[in-house]
Amino acid sequence: MHINDKSNYKTYLPKEDRYEKTLYNRCGKSGILLPAISLGLWHNFGKYDQMANAEAILRTAFDHGITHFDLANNYGPPYGSAEENFGMLFQQNFKSYRNELFIATKAGYDMWPGPYGNHGSRKYLISSIEDSLQRMNLDYVDLFYHHRPDPNTPLEETAIALYDIVRQGKALYVGISRYSSDETTAMASLLKELNVPFIIHQSRYSLFDRAIENDLLSTLTENNLGCIAFSPLAQGMLTDKYIDRIPENSRAAKSKTYLDITAVNEKLSTIKKLNEIAKKRGQKLHQMAISWLLYQKAITSVLVGVSSSNQLIENLKATQNIDFSSEEIQQIDELTTMFI
Ligand SMILES: NC(=O)c1ccc[n+]([C@@H]2O[C@H](COP(=O)([O-])OP(=O)(O)OC[C@H]3O[C@@H](n4cnc5c(N)ncnc54)[C@H](OP(=O)(O)O)[C@@H]3O)[C@@H](O)[C@H]2O)c1
């Protein structure tokens, strides 16, 4: 029999050497190791994005030992579509590698209409994880986050919801995101009392946003928690892409994103100066920005977003040089301590 299959679809077989060169860091004092670079699906995995590109990014990630994929209930657009697309691509590519993957999702932002589709109530969190599992066609996630603090729901209520989610087998570990230092201390104490495996804080951290250096990083260390840094490239500003122009199809050029041209222009002179420091280190600016985060002791993993496999491969090269001389640190600090 001769089959003339014109679909050009190739079954995915991950690279056998995928774990050989990858750097993994322990997450706080837990049993979990996370790759130094993890992949976030906030952008580029929604309903209107190219699925072939999304699939190529996920395959490239796994081929390079990236075992940790980060989602949230409302990633898309529209809300939920990143989880749906991930679920479909997971079934087609990674189903037999489920035990090798560490998959996270979150709830805490606006998700469905009415009073129960947002914030931190037990009603919202327990309904949301159920929906996320259905969209991704998974039995459990490895990590479930409360996506942001909710000042109007008692912390105890959110903590008990996280406890129940773990006890019901819907998540193996829990984390929090965007909580302040004091809120983190309070949540850590509640979750410790309940024996919940609380292992990580997801925080915005980059050369252009160093606020967590004030007190959060030391709080995380004191509580044996890992830290995963989101928007490490300040959504693309910490690359050389905007130095000469605003490229078409870049995040700053697109409408309905959280990065605009004014923000880029405000940072342009600092971007150029940082780019010169990176060149002297033999790195691209995006690599130096990631290396600098990995140089920080409290950082477990750097959570990048990419719009192509090439960007991911470029970013992964950052792990080849995560040492900085005191002169380099001083030069970087001169340009960025204003962002602490
Ligand atoms: N917990 C929270 O509240 C929260 C908030 C935000 C994000 N996150 C998580 O963190 C992840 C990463 O956030 P982010 O997407 O803002 O991260 P980011 O890494 O700072 O920015 C990603 C964007 O930078 C550009 N880029 C990346 N690598 C590049 C390279 N090598 N060369 C040129 N441009 C490059 C791409 O934009 P172009 O489209 O311009 O190519 C890419 O989409 C998200 O996916 C999500 O999982 C969490």
Assigned domain for 313 exists: yes
Kindly report whether the peptide bond that precedes residue 77 is cis, defined as omega within 30 degrees of 0.
yes
Segment 100-131, tens digit of pLDDT: 999 999 999 999 999 999 999 999 999 999 99
Specify the 3-state DSSP secondary structure of 94. helix
Segment 268-326, tens digit of pLDDT: 999 999 999 999 999 999 999 999 999 999 999 999 999 999 999 999 999 999 999 99
Assigned domain for 83 exists: yes
Give 157: exposed, middle or buried? Use CB within 10 Å, 0-12, 13-18, 19+: middle
Which phi and psi angles does 105 have, rounded to 5°? -140, 175
Q: Among 8-17, 170-179, 257-266, whose mean pLDDT is lowest?
A: 8-17
Q: Give the Cα separation of 130 and 217 in Å (integer).
A: 32
User: Tell me, what's the pLDDT at 97?
Assistant: 98
Q: What is the mean predicted confidence (pLDDT) over 25-35?
A: 98
Q: What ligand 1 atom has the least distance to the C-alpha of 232?
A: 20
Q: Render the burial of 193-227: b for 16+ CB within 10 Å, e for the rest.
A: ebebbbbbbbbbbbbbbbebeeebbebbeebebbb
Assigned domain for 67 exists: yes
User: Tell me, what's the pLDDT at 8?
Assistant: 64
The stretches of 41-196 forming alpha helices (DSSP H) are 51-63, 81-89, 122-136, 155-167, 181-193
User: Tell me, what's the pLDDT at 14?
Assistant: 96
Cβ-contact 65, 98 below 8 angstroms: no
> Which residue's C-alpha comes closest to atom 15 of ligand 1?
305
* Measured CA distances, 271 to 142, 212, 240, 265, 268 (Å): 36, 21, 8, 10, 5
Segment 222-245, tens digit of pLDDT: 999 999 999 999 999 999 999 998
User: Tell me, what's the pLDDT at 9?
Assistant: 65
User: Tell me, what's the pLDDT at 2?
Assistant: 74
User: Tell me, what's the pLDDT at 333?
Assistant: 98
Assigned domain for 2 exists: no
Element (H, E) at 69: strand 68-70
Question: Is the pLDDT score of 148 beyond 90?
Answer: yes
Assigned domain for 155 exists: yes
Note the Cα 286 to chain centre separation in Å.
Answer: 16
Cβ-contact 90, 123 below 8 angstroms: no
User: Tell me, what's the pLDDT at 299?
Assistant: 98
Residue 249 binned pLDDT confidence (cut-offs 50, 70, 90): confident
Question: Is the pLDDT score of 83 beyond 90?
Answer: yes
**Total number of domains in the chain:** 1
Domain containing residue 249? 24-339
> Which residue's C-alpha comes closest to atom 31 of ligand 1?
311
Q: Give the Cα separation of 238 and 264 in Å (integer).
A: 10
Assigned domain for 278 exists: yes
Q: How far apart are the first and last CA of the chain?
A: 67
Distance of CA 40 from the midpoint of ligand 1 (Å): 7
Mutate to test the pocket of ligand 1, among 230, 294, 309, 317 (most ligand atoms within 8 A of CB): 230
Assigned domain for 16 exists: no
Q: Is the dihedral of CA 130, 78, 34, 87 positive or negative?
A: positive
Taking CB atoms and a 6 Å cutoff, what residues make up the pocket around ligand 1? Answer: 40-43, 70, 147, 177-178, 202, 230-236, 239, 241, 250-251, 286, 303-307, 311, 314-315
Mutate to test the pocket of ligand 1, among 256, 307, 310 (most ligand atoms within 8 A of CB): 307
Segment 84-98, tens digit of pLDDT: 999 999 999 999 999
Q: Give the Cα separation of 264 and 24 in Å (integer).
A: 32
Segment 11-22, tens digit of pLDDT: 899 999 999 999
Q: What ligand 1 atom has the least distance to the C-alpha of 145?
A: 1
Cβ-contact 137, 165 below 8 angstroms: no
Cβ-contact 238, 274 below 8 angstroms: yes
User: Tell me, what's the pLDDT at 256?
Assistant: 77
Segment 178-211, tens digit of pLDDT: 999 999 999 999 999 999 999 999 999 999 999 9
User: Tell me, what's the pLDDT at 254?
Assistant: 86
Instruction: Assign residue 72 the CATH number of its domain.
Output: 3.20.20.100
Assigned domain for 19 exists: no
